[in-house]
Structure 1
Amino acid sequence: MATLAQFDTNSNSYFEALAIAERRALHSFFDQHIVEDDDLGYFALDEGDYNALPAHMADRVVHTVQGAMLDEF
């Protein structure tokens, strides 16, 4: 039963991170990444916070939401 509870917690943190990433992406030029973490579960990370994602972070990206702002107008 503990495994099921752990899965549920990770699932919740993934969907929370996804909701944050989707909201941020609407107002950002940068992609929003969902990163898996052993301690935190999942969290949203703004690509604009880094010049390039360090390899240890890039390896843990499980989903990316593209930034929705355009610089064309």
Structure 2
Amino acid sequence: MIISADTAQAEVQAAVDHSTAWIAALDQAHARAQHSYFTQYILIDGQRGYLVVDEGDYGALPAELEGRVIDAVCGKLSDEF
């Protein structure tokens, strides 16, 4: 198989962009979890890549969102001392 240099470069750039978006979403979830009682969910979003939602925003996560969850970060706040 022959791949042009432009095609190879585009594939590498797409992989880097995907990794960068994933790391940004994971960082955001961890930052939000530090100040929340609720689990932070990372969802796959077809248009934007990744989306972070707080369980407290929706109560129980709706079924259409549950199917898109790819990772979760537990909230760090607690009322139990």
Give the alignment's TM-score, normalised by structure 1: 0.89
RMSD of aligned C-alpha atoms? 1.2
Give the aligned partner of residue 16 of structure 1: 24
How far 1:5 moved relative to its partner?
2.5
Segment drifting more, 8-17 vs 24-33: 8-17
Give the aligned partner of residue 76 of structure 2: 68
In structure 2, distance between residues paired with 1:57 and 1:11? 22
C-alpha contact 1:17 1:44 (8 A) present in aligned 2: yes
Give the aligned partner of residue 45 of structure 1: 53
C-alpha contact 1:13 1:43 (8 A) present in aligned 2: no
Higher RCO (CA < 8 A, seq sep 6+): 1
C-alpha contact 1:26 1:67 (8 A) present in aligned 2: yes
The unaligned stretches of length 5 or more in structure 2 are 1-7
Within the candidate set 47, 58, 68, 2:66 is matched to 58
Q: Select the structure of larger CA radius of gyration.
A: 2
The unaligned stretches of length 5 or more in structure 1 are none
Number of positions where the alignment pairs a residue of Structure 1 with one of Structure 2:
73
How far 1:7 moved relative to its partner?
2.4
C-alpha contact 1:10 1:42 (8 A) present in aligned 2: no
Give the aligned partner of residue 4 of structure 2: none
- Sequence identity of aligned pairs in percent? 42
